[in-house]
Structure formats: C-alpha cells, structure tokens
A and B are shown apart, each in its own frame.
Chain A
Amino acid sequence: MAKKINKKPKKARTLTYADAIKEALFQEMTRDKRVIAYGIGLPDHKAIFGTTSGLLEKFGPGRVFDTPISEDAMTGFGIGAAMNGLRPVYHHIRVDFLLLTMNQLANIASTVSYGSGGKLGAPLVIRAIIGRGWGQGFQHSKSMQSVFAHIPGLKVVMPTTAHDAKGLLISAIRDGNPVLFLEHRWLYWQTGEVPANSYEVPIGPGQILRKGKNITIAATSWMNVEAVQAADILSRRGIRAEIVDVRALSPLDDKLIVESVKKTGHCIVADLDWVNYGVSAEIAARVYQKCFGHLKAPIERIGFANTPCPTVRVLENEFYPNAATIVRAVEKQLKLSPMDLSKENFYSHENRFKGPF
C-alpha cells in the first residue's frame, strides 16, 4: 500500500518538563546500557513526579532500583559504580537529603579525577528536586546550588525549560564527571517544544530567554518564570528587560551575562536561593569585575529571605521573591515610580505556570 504523504507542515512537538526528563532517561538508557537509575522510591507509583515511570519495566531491576534510606552510602555506591564503568543517575525527591551525602560529594566525587592524576573519572548524575510546594517548610524547600557550585570538581546545572531539561540531562549523563541536576518542582507542569530526537545542551553557557535593551536580569531555575512575568509587566510601561537564563552554575560561563550588561548598563541577579554567599554574589562579583565602566547603577540581588523557610503561606510569601520583587528592583535601578501591582495574578502552587517561555 502506498504511503500517504502528509503535506501539512509538521507541528512542533511539545512535552512537559517532567516528560522531557523521562524521555532523556529512556533514550539514554536505550542508547547506553552502562546507564543505571536508582533512588528512594524511584520505581514506586509516584515515580519521582512521574519522571521515572516505566523505567523498571523496560530496563529491569539490575539497572533500575529502589534503595534503602541510606543517602550517604548510596552516593558512595554511585561514585564507585561510575568509577568502574557504569553511568549512574541517582534520584532524590528533595535536595535537602543531599546534605546527608556531602562527605561523598565534597570529599570523594569531586576528587576522583584530581586525586588519581586524571586516570579515573566519576560520571555520576544526581537528580534532585528543589523548590517550593504547598507548605514544604524548612527541610523540604532548599536549593543549595551555591553549596555544590562552591566545590571544584562538581558540575551543577539548573534547567529552566523543557527543552533544556532533556538536553542538559543527556549532556550530564554523557559527561565524565559528577553532575548535580537540580529541578524545580513547579517547572514540571510547563509545556515547551522538545525535539523527539536525542540531543545535548552543553553544560556551561546560559541562554537569552528574552531579548531587551534596558536592563539585564540574570536568573536561575524558577526565577526565570518570575523574571518573564516581571518583564511582561514592565513592558507595559515601555521597559524592555533582557533575561539571561544562567542554566549552569558550575562551570559558569558568564559571557552572555557580561555581554548583556555591557549593552543594558543595568543588572539584577535573581537566584533561587539565599542571597548571602550565594550564586547571586558570584555572578554580581563577576559582572562588577568585567562590566565596571558600563554599570549605571549598583547590581541588585534577589533571593530567599535570610531565614529558614517557614511553612505557613503568609510567611512563605514573604520568604520567596517573585515577579513583584523583580519589578520593584527594576524600578529602583531605573529610578522609576512604583507601578500598581495590585491587579496582577502572580504564580503560586495553585496558579501554575504552564509555559511555554
């Protein structure tokens, strides 16, 4: 029978962020039998927010397994398996649990290559879910990218878009080094264009999420969503904000941020973490150093309040920055009068960002 020729132009395929991650795992595990996936609850009915469902059935219990609640040992396990020819992807439903693994990360994973004179590597990927939920409180809400990025020998990425979630995870799995892959749970619901084929997004460079000429907003993870909303609000009064999605914290390729600030003369760093000693400090320091003569105002840094994260919503709303925080920072930088934001509908656990960017 003759094949029907479809003359309609192909519509771009869209996936949710969660499905993009799942697709990356399936494609990499199919391509390379060295890839294994494990973690607490990975094969259960919740399947790490649905990102691992079907893996066990497809690849079997040797390559996909649940674990005892032994984060410390299971991290060392992953490092050892990685040193000896496997490509493990270790899953954590909360980044806070990685604090139990800091010895393995900071003392072992980060020094496998250096300590062996480059003879060995530890190609281990650690997926960890970060971010805000519905009253997650102070032990289920951290980000910790600056803690990891502080340690030489670890790579740290925070994909924002569905496209990058897939491409960066594939790059992370193929990388010869330990990579921390931090996913904000509120990003899972967004839909975006994701090619069906396998592709890599390089670990290092950021991307321009929105072009603008008046001010640069360098943002990480979920803060890009807030930045986009802030940019929309500001555009109503003619302000064009340029948003740089930082994507990788280590190695941090600051080229795009620097180029953007040289163009706009203004810089806000919106990091999804505490401000003190954080990624926002690192980025601000680099921008000051490389754009000193170009800056028309001091850099504004936006992040969590310098407190543990409270549970109750009214305090939680004070703890987390959002688009309004960014709008106010832009107004301060550009010496503008404050806009009326009382009619704005900001994102929340109930009012979800559905994408695309």
Chain B
Amino acid sequence: MNIDLYKKLYLIRRAEQGIIDNYATDAMKTPMHMSMGEEAIVAGVCQALKKTDQVLGTYRSHALYLAKTSETHKFFAEMYGKITGIAGGKAGSMHLSSPENGYLMSSAVVATTIPVAVGVAYANKLRKTNAITAVFFGDGAIEGGVFWESLNFACLKRTPVIFVCEDNGFAVHTDQWTRHGYDSIDKIVSQFDCLSFKSSSTDAGVIYDIAANAIQEAKKKKKPAFLHFNYYRYLEHVGVNEDFDAGYRSKKEFYKWYKVDPILVARKKLIADGLNEENVQKIEQKINERVVLAINAAEKAPFPSKEKLYEDIFYGKKN
C-alpha cells in the first residue's frame, strides 16, 4: 500500500468526520452529500492521475476534492461559507472545484458534468497537452440521455476521457431494480468503441492498478475508458446521519461492506507491508491536526462582504 494513497483515504474519512462532528452547530449551511464508503474509488483513481490531469465531479465530491487537491483550508472555509473558501462561499458543498489543481467543476444535477468532461478532454486532444480528464458520476447518471450522448461522441472522436461510474446501487433512495431495464451496464458500454473495466473492490490499491492500466491503455489505443466501480454509501443520500431505519435498505448490507471498509483495508495492508502501528498513527495524527486547524480557521474566517454577491457573474469582469 502506497503511503500517499493511504494519506488520501485517511484525509477524506477524517475530514468528513470533522463535518459530522461539527454539523449540529448549523454553522455549515450547505447540504452535505457525504462520500463515506466511496473513498477507495476516488483516491485510487486520483492517485493514478497526474496533477495536470483534470477531474469533474458531482454534488457528492468531498472525496474527489480532497483526493485531487489534498487541500483542507479552502475546503472547510467553503463549507462554512467564508471568504477564504474555494469560491468565497458561493459554491458550498455541492459545487467544489479547484482549477489550479485540475479539479474543474462539480454539478448538483445528475449527469451534467459528463459532456463537459468530454469537451475538456477534446481541448486537451486538440491542444496536444497529453492530459487525461476523469469524470465521476453515480449509477443514476447512466439513466440520463446525456451520458449516452457523451459516451457516443467521446468514442467517435477518440477523446482522452475516463468515465468513472461510482455505483452504490441507489439513486437517492431508489434501488437499481426499480430503475434498470437491463442486466449489465458494462455489456452495453462495451458495444461502444471504448475500453471497459469493472471492480467491486474496496481496496484503493486495486482501484489504483485498474485506473493506471486504464489510463495507459486509453492513451495507447486513443480510446475513452469506462470504469465501473461498486461501493456502499454509508450515510443517507444527503445529510450526515445513517438512515437504515427508513426501510429502503438494511443495516446487514452495511455490515457486509464495512468489513472491507476502504480505510481499514488500506491500513491493514500498510501494516502488512511493514509500516508499524506507531508510524501509521503518526501519519494519522498529522492529518487529524490539519483537519482541526482547517476547521478552526474556517470558523474564524470572515463571511464575504455583501457586494461580493455581484462579483464574477461574468468572467474577467468585476461588476
């Protein structure tokens, strides 16, 4: 297990725990779509990407932001709606981005950033930057026509884009059996002129290997790649709590997945690889401290001034 990869995983989990611990104060007035359970997918894929590669995400993108940027101060400041946040409080939890780190955009409308990613990738192709663009979306996005439109065009133009489907089996609270008129998405996607990979592993190392291989193959064959990863969403669709009492899914299922929790799996591997418990704890302690510092700084930072409302409506012009 790569230490940097573990750091990514632990940072994501710890930062979200920080949100949970402080959410009840109601100081973070932004709807939280928590990443808990999906960390291995995002951390593994981002580990395989270069800093200059680009990602786009959804409203459930805390993990993606932290994995791509390893940045916590602007992250928490945005959650608290402070001027020091990534967009000075205008974006909140659902619209994270960090263009300087290659994280271009997140959208709160399902499937919406998929075609945008194809355009970003096409620009890379035309400009010969050699960069890869990865777009993350849930399994519900596949039900949107724009997914198929985007996949078709990306294949047609041999665009350097990686489609990453984070499949948790639910669209909000609706299970896949209520939504799918097909058996296997992978079978359908494989009929397009692209590469297709699938895994249900919660081992970030496995995800990393798949992603690194997919990126290499995609570049070599000049084709897009579709990565289909299963995971289990630990918390409610939106909010920081469990919702097993709601009746649409069982806690048994959760326990099954929690046995192979991405952070626990990675930690065990790290120790099995020879790092001792004490050193792992040191790594974790540093991250704990960073998160606490970031939360404290965010709490103390000022809110945007009222005139900021009218800034940046148009690019390059303060009006």
Contact = CB atoms under 8 A, between A and B. Distances in A.
Contact of A77 (B90, B116, B126, B313): B116
B5 interface: no
Contacts of A72: 115, 145-146, 149
B18 interface: no
Contact of A83 (B100, B120, B152, B313): B120
A68 B151 CA distance: 11
A68 B153 contact: yes
A108 B113 CA distance: 8
Of B97, B100, B119, chain A has the most CB atoms within 10 Å of the CB of B119
Contact of B54 (A81, A84, A155): A84
Nearest to A107: B109
> Which of B56, B90, B149 is the most central at the interface, judged by chain A CB atoms within 10 Å of its CB?
B149
A114 B119 contact: no
Contacts, number: 156
Contacts of B97: 115-116, 119-120
Interface string B282-319: 00000000000000000000000000000111111110
Q: Which of A70, A84, A176 has the most CB of B within 10 A?
A: A84
A349 to B, nearest CB: 34
B267 to A, nearest CB: 35
A74 interface: yes
B156 interface: yes
A122 B115 CA distance: 14
Interface residue range, chain A: 35 or more
A115 to B, nearest CB: 5
A293 interface: no
Given A68-B152, A153-B314, A115 B120 contact: no
B107 interface: yes
B119 A78 contact: yes
A85 B107 contact: no
B153 A74 contact: yes
Given A76-B114, A103-B109, A114 B313 contact: yes
A227 interface: no
A220 interface: no
Given A80-B122, A115-B90, A73 B313 contact: no
Interface in B91-114: 91, 95, 97, 99-100, 104-105, 107, 109, 112-114
B88 interface: yes
B58 interface: no
A29 B130 CA distance: 23
B118 A76 contact: yes
A118 interface: yes
A118 B100 CA distance: 12
A112 B314 CA distance: 9
B12 interface: no
Contacts of B152: 68, 70, 73
B127 A85 contact: yes
Interface residues of B, number: 45
Nearest to B125: A62
Interface in A55-74: 62-63, 67-68, 70, 72-74
A80 B105 CA distance: 10
A108 B91 CA distance: 13
B115 A80 contact: yes
B120 A84 contact: yes
Interface string B39-77: 000000000000000101000000000000000000000
Interface in B111-148: 112-124, 126-127, 145-146
Contacts of B318: 118
Contact of B115 (A82, A85, A104, A119): A104
A81 B122 contact: yes
A223 B314 CA distance: 29
A100 to B, nearest CB: 9
Contacts of B312: 113-114, 116-118
A169 to B, nearest CB: 18
Contacts of B113: 76, 108
Contacts of B56: 80
A173 to B, nearest CB: 14
Interface in B148-194: 149-150, 152-153, 156
Nearest to B159: A77
B100 A80 contact: no
Given A72-B146, A85-B123, A115 B115 contact: no
A86 interface: yes
A115 B116 contact: no
Interface of A: 36, 62-63, 67-68, 70, 72-86, 88, 103-104, 107-108, 111-123, 152-153, 155, 176-177
28 contacts: A36-B126, A63-B126, A67-B153, A73-B118, A73-B146, A73-B150, A76-B119, A77-B115, A77-B119, A78-B119, A79-B119, A80-B123, A81-B119, A81-B122, A83-B105, A86-B123, A88-B119, A104-B115, A113-B313, A114-B90, A116-B91, A116-B105, A119-B97, A120-B104, A120-B105, A123-B315, A152-B313, A177-B315
Interface of B: 54, 56, 86-88, 90-91, 95, 97, 99-100, 104-105, 107, 109, 112-124, 126-127, 145-146, 149-150, 152-153, 156, 311-318
Nearest 6 A/B pairs, CB to CB: A80-B119, A76-B115, A121-B315, A73-B149, A70-B149, A118-B312
